[in-house]
Structure 1
Amino acid sequence: MRSTDPTTPVISVSGVTRTFGSGDRTVRAVDDVTLEINAGEIVALLGPNGAGKTTLIDMICGFSTPGDGSIRVFGRQPSAVTGSGRIACVPQSGGLNPYLTVQRTLLLIAAAQGVEAGRVDEVAERAGITGLMKRRVKNCSGGEQQRVKFAVSLIADPDLIILDEPTTGMDAGARREFWAAISRDADAGRTIIFATHYLAEAEEHAERIVVMARGAIISDGSVRDLLGTRARTVTIAGVSPEDTARACTGLDARVDGGRITVAPGHSDELARRLLRIPGARDLIIHQPSLEQVFLELTAEPTPHPTAAGVDTHGTH
């Protein structure tokens, strides 16, 4: 890896928009996205299928260009960095010659990048594909091919690795091995970005989660940040409705039967007030799971009645 200026973002995306189609069929795959990623970060790009993750990754990797806005990788145009060895992009599909053996694939890539052949065995071991070296790519499973592509990405010793749905097709064991390899590279100081729709992967392996939906970034932060912005649900036994209502006075809280929905910044104070009430017991504060937050963030907006062809102003 090369030394990286810590004051310059590894990736800088500013006001980027990318559309496909034309006229009434125009689709905004990426809609006014602004994003900075710094050296050494491990970032998950999380979103449902069709959220715009792959389109954004393709532009960062220099495979396509924005319709509007700008992208810089190490302060340069992505296309100027792609061949430098500083960035490695691992696509979800394609990218390998199916008729070559895995070993031949790695040797050819190493030769093309001016890397000594001895490094091939090293990256094969790190990617967990030593046992696949004599096998043709077409005879490897989808998960095995993903690991081959990961090995390819390591050959030039890049500073930045970008992976699009990297564990697609892998079984549970292969996923564990893959993420163990990724963790070792992260510990070495690489910047790693991976797109995924697996919540567990994002939660376990990323320091920062960028949530996309409908082409836009709708949330950006750590898991704690994401969960910390959502309301809690409080339940308690032995407290009358009147005492519950009094305990909520002045707080951002709503009582609904036996449950209290309270803003995250007010839940501790509410708990203290409730527990001071004689007879109060079995207090439970329910924090939403990452899955609940994700589904809430990415839910399709409820269409306005007129959008469904209903005229709310009567018939003319």
Structure 2
Amino acid sequence: MSNHVAPIARLAGAIKHYGSLTALDGLDLMLHRGELLALLGPNGAGKSTAISLLLGLIRADAGTVELFGLDPQQLVARRRIGVMLQAASLPPTLRVEELLRLTASYYPAPRALLESAELAGIGDLLKRPYAKLSGGQQRRVQFAMALCGRPELLFLDEPTVGMDIEARQKLWTTIRQLVAEGCAVVLTTHYLEEAEALADRVCVMARGKVISEGSVDELRARVSLKRVRCVTRLDVQAVAAWPEVVEARQEGSRLWMSTDAAEVLVRRLLLADAQLSELEVQRAGLAEAFTELTREADSSVSDQREAA
């Protein structure tokens, strides 16, 4: 994506304090049309604060915050976004169709009710009171409400919590469709396989800063770990003690290992068990990349404190 195209959302040198706590420490972040940005980080990394700034819910203490080139608190900018927060308090007695009609009324050119319902997979829930829905069904209703205004930018905070596999796959399909149509999406999720499946770009945050940014493949390539799995008679505790093994665990009949010396480990496995079978070697996934990147950030902070 060209860097010459103006971003539709931008944080530049954003700083936010809550008393003595620095939630954001000079954060730089931008988002362009038609891309899905996954914002990842451990609890307390500053993700929610960054999103709250872009939504206009709070003000930065310093730095620049722009939404479509405007102050995020301006109504003309906020009418161009859709939001699905992690927690939502909605009138429990209203029916789903009433919630959608009410939400759509806030936008100048909303989607038709049935279109929003179809995109979210809730066509069979329209007559149901919101309070009578399961947690996963309520999340799908919240998703429909977030997209009913035809947003140019969609904020999704842990969107698939409580959903079953089928509902999650349906939501992923709709998100991909919206992005293909030019909608930008900011996704925060603890399901790293979700970010791996959807994201065009990933920003990993820690301590109020972006510590790593790039495509899923670029982040995976920065991690030396590989995953090795096989069916073996070897004891998992014995293998875990090998110097080339970072982690080992038994899952059913298979032994799973993480290593930064895959070739050495494979040779050792074959020598130790002549009956070994179903051997596979894979690059590290986003989960391993995330773990290693955040561990490195914590180590760097610890080293700085010790030096001080």
Q: TM-score, normalised by structure 1?
A: 0.73
- Secondary structure of the 1:36 match is strand
Aligned to 1:13: 11
Aligned to 1:51: 45
Identity of aligned residues (%): 36
Conserved in 1, the CA contact under 8 Å of 2:222 and 2:289?
Answer: no
Cα deviation, 1:134-177, whole Å, max 9, x if unaligned, reads 11112222222221121112222111111111111112221111
User: Aligned partners of 1:233, 1:182: CA distance in 2, in Å?
Assistant: 30
Equivalent residue in structure 2 for 1:301, among 282, 298, 301: 298
User: Aligned partners of 1:286, 1:147: CA distance in 2, in Å?
Assistant: 34
The residue type equivalent to 1:77 in the other structure is: D
Aligned to 1:78: 72
The residue type equivalent to 2:298 in the other structure is: P
Aligned to 1:174: 167
Cα deviation, 1:266-296, whole Å, max 9, x if unaligned, reads x9xxxxxxxxxxxxxxxx9864332222111
Cα deviation, 1:46-96, whole Å, max 9, x if unaligned, reads 122222211211111111111221111111111115665211121111152
Conserved in 2, the CA contact under 8 Å of 1:49 and 1:197?
Answer: no
Aligned to 1:292: 288
Aligned to 1:207: 200
Residue pairs, 1:230-249, within 5 angstroms: 230-231=223-224
The residue type equivalent to 1:10 in the other structure is: I
The residue type equivalent to 2:5 in the other structure is: T
Conserved in 1, the CA contact under 8 Å of 2:244 and 2:260?
Answer: no
Aligned to 2:146: 153
Aligned residues: 259
Equivalent residue in structure 2 for 1:196, among 183, 189, 197: 189
Post-superposition offset of 1:14:
0.4
Q: TM-score, normalised by structure 2?
A: 0.75
Post-superposition offset of 1:99:
2.2
Rate the CA distance shift 1:135–1:301 in 2: closer, same or farther, 3 A. Answer: same
Conserved in 2, the CA contact under 8 Å of 1:18 and 1:67?
Answer: yes
Unpaired segments of 5 or more residues in structure 1? 1-5, 236-255, 268-283
Moved more, 47-56 or 66-75: 47-56
Aligned to 1:34: 28
User: Aligned partners of 2:208, 2:244: CA distance in 1, in Å?
Assistant: 38
Cα deviation, 1:221-260, whole Å, max 9, x if unaligned, reads 001111222336799xxxxxxxxxxxxxxxxxxxx88999
Equivalent residue in structure 2 for 1:137, among 122, 130, 145: 130
Post-superposition offset of 1:119:
0.7
Rate the CA distance shift 1:296–1:108 in 2: closer, same or farther, 3 A. Answer: same
Post-superposition offset of 1:17:
1.6
User: Aligned partners of 1:306, 1:224: CA distance in 2, in Å?
Assistant: 30
Rate the CA distance shift 1:148–1:230 in 2: closer, same or farther, 3 A. Answer: same
Moved more, 184-193 or 284-293: 284-293
RMSD after superposition: 3.1
User: Aligned partners of 2:122, 2:244: CA distance in 1, in Å?
Assistant: 57
Conserved in 2, the CA contact under 8 Å of 1:57 and 1:164?
Answer: no
Rate the CA distance shift 1:82–1:31 in 2: closer, same or farther, 3 A. Answer: farther
Equivalent residue in structure 1 for 2:87, among 88, 93, 104: 93
- Secondary structure of the 1:185 match is helix
Rate the CA distance shift 1:19–1:110 in 2: closer, same or farther, 3 A. Answer: same
Moved more, 90-99 or 164-173: 90-99
Aligned to 2:216: 223
Unpaired segments of 5 or more residues in structure 2? 229-242, 247-258, 264-279
Conserved in 2, the CA contact under 8 Å of 1:12 and 1:72?
Answer: yes
